[in-house]
Chains A and B, each alone.
Chain A
Amino acid sequence: MSSLQLASLLPWLVSLPLLAAIVSFVLPGGRSCRWFCSAAAAIHLSISMALLLLIKRGMDAGGAVYNIGGWGAPLGIDLHVDGFSALMIMLTNGIAFILTLYGAAYFTDTRKQARFWPLWWLLITALNCLYLAADAFNIYVALEIMGLASVALVALQGTVVALRAALRYLLAGLLGSLCYLLGVALLYRSYGVLDLAALGQRVLSEPLSWAALGVITVGLLLKTALLPLHFWLPSAHASAPAPVSAALSALVVKASFYLLVVFWLEVMPSATSYHGLQLLGALGAAAIVVGSLQAIRAQRLKLIVAYSTVAQLGYLFLLFPLVGEPLHSGNSLGGAAISAIIYFIIAHAFAKAAMFLSVGNIQHVVGHDKLTGLNAIARYMPLSLAAFAIAGVSLIGLPPSGGFIAKWLLLNLAIDSGQWWWAVAILGGGLLAAVYVFRVINFAFNDADSQLGADGLFNTQGDGSTAAPRLPRMLSACAFTLAVVAIVLGFTAPWLLSVPGVSFPGAAGSWGQP
């Protein structure tokens, strides 16, 4: 019974955001559109909450399947959900809800708003569809919708810099999804199926499946922006409007990472090798170091946050050696490693979204985000700065934040599996994150030669007003809420880590049988 209820929720998660995209395209901008979008986001959030609770309440680890139109695989399109995808959907719609409220207050220009909403809902549609897709080609379609919607959202700013960044993002994204499609074509050629579950049963360790996994991996790495394929990320994430940057860093790059996990660990574990897993881990460790150093050197707030994303994405890839060691030696740390990484994804998503929103607030008021012009900003925008600092605590990994628990779990795994060198990367990355977070905070609290006070933007007039534009209360509230959630996550660890299906092994396919 509950399996049926669960499956019947799935199509709504794709069709409702799509419907919202169409309606918001037709609705005249302004107040009615804002109310409609906030309501739509709340509905998506409650559906995904129901989904997660049903999964949590004792669904078997295999999850649930919905056959669209009753056709079923191999000919029809199936939607499939398990613990991992339910958590990702919950994360997507939870952050999207707050970003929708933020976006409603952020875009004051009705024309920009009219362009933003349809693209925004298409992006959410694509993300939900990607997490629910049960076949390899449907994933390609979701990837492309996601890519095109994100590019158009980056271009929303309309400046030459933003348009150039969008074009570069588009070309990189297209290359990524074409590589993925090539891999799918090779898989179809050898095994004649697209359904992921069926593929998982048939894939053998042979040259053609190695080649397929190779191109799929390169394509998805490009979309996930793992070093050295991260060249498009900083400019694209730094030149988008604040809610878009937040969504790109918090949600979009995680979607392609999710696919990497699905392909490497669920669908094709037999085609992976020990060295491949170690290589992904090494690239991740390099990304932590290089991304953090670039963030330390950057001169603009948004660039700092964007490079920090490059670094934090590196942590995600430590999953592969940590899960891979047990995979190839036969002990059972795999499930714990997956749980730790999902936890990391969630903690990073909230912290990074909070950071981008608070930087967006500063940019909204001051008009720029150059670090040197922001001395003493903490005095004038305390709430946004507090959000930035609290999110920073989670990024660095100080207790009791979500980031701390995630790093703690990863550290334990690195030690338990006898791979202490990954622990060095985890701890070093935390120290480097502390440097770039405190560098910003240092500027923000430094009262010396501030350009904002005495005769600057915040110079108080006779009647107590200043020249600075007023910040809508909703904007700082959204940034602050996200930052608080990033900390509170640290206290919900036992609940999150007990979602079934997150605790592999044996969740799907041939996983767990060395």
Chain B
Amino acid sequence: MTQDMLYSICGLLLFGIGLYRLIAAPRILLKVLAVNIQGVGVFMLLVATAYPHSDPVPHAMVLTGIVVAVAATALALSLYCRIHELQAGSGTEP
């Protein structure tokens, strides 16, 4: 098995693990982490695609993807914090 094939399969596996946890995890924070792991899986697949041809295009895609992932994670965490604050204010446990 070639090296880039190995990395591609690992990327798909990571995507699968993330998908499983996103559906099965009981808590929101775990779900946010799971989505990030899925993202990493896709990025790994893209980088492994680029490796044999030294192709810069997938790298550009991964870079854009990372920016999107950071923004989305920040939005998810700020929504989570806000829900937490509001519920702490009204005295109910989240």
Contacts and interface: CB of A to CB of B under 8 A. Distances in A.
Contacts of B61: 137, 184-185, 188
Interface in A164-189: 164, 166-167, 170-171, 174-175, 178, 181-182, 184-186, 188-189
A220 interface: no
Tell which of A141, A175, A186, A194 has the most Cβ of chain B within 10 Å. A175
A155 interface: yes
Contacts of B87: 160
B75 A182 contact: no
Contact of B15 (A144, A159, A182, A188): A182
Interface residues of A, number: 29
A144 B69 CA distance: 9
Interface residues of B, number: 33
A185 B60 CA distance: 12
Interface string B52-92: 00010110010011001001100110011011001100100
B68 A175 contact: no
A187 to B, nearest CB: 10
Contact of A164 (B45, B64, B83): B83
Given A148-B72, A167-B79, A182-B15, A188 B58 contact: yes
B71 A148 contact: yes
A194 B57 contact: yes
Contacts of A144: 68, 72
A161 B8 CA distance: 40
B79 A163 contact: yes
Given A148-B72, A160-B83, A185 B46 contact: yes
A174 B17 CA distance: 16
A457 interface: no
Contacts of A182: 15, 41-42, 45
A170 B71 CA distance: 12
A428 B31 CA distance: 39
Contacts of A170: 72, 75-76, 79
Interface in A186-233: 186, 188-189, 192, 194
Contacts of B28: 167
Interface in B1-54: 8, 15, 19, 22, 28, 31-32, 35, 38-39, 41-42, 45-46, 49
Which 3 A-B pairs have CB atoms at the shortest separation, nearest pair first? A189-B49, A167-B79, A144-B68
19 contacts: A137-B64, A144-B68, A144-B72, A148-B71, A148-B75, A151-B75, A159-B86, A160-B87, A164-B83, A167-B76, A167-B79, A167-B80, A170-B72, A178-B42, A182-B41, A182-B42, A185-B42, A188-B58, A188-B61
Interface of A: 137, 141, 144, 147-148, 151-152, 155, 158-160, 163-164, 166-167, 170-171, 174-175, 178, 181-182, 184-186, 188-189, 192, 194
Given A137-B61, A170-B75, A181-B65, 7 more contacts: A137-B64, A151-B79, A163-B86, A170-B72, A174-B72, A182-B45, A194-B57
Interface of B: 8, 15, 19, 22, 28, 31-32, 35, 38-39, 41-42, 45-46, 49, 55, 57-58, 61, 64-65, 68, 71-72, 75-76, 79-80, 82-83, 86-87, 90
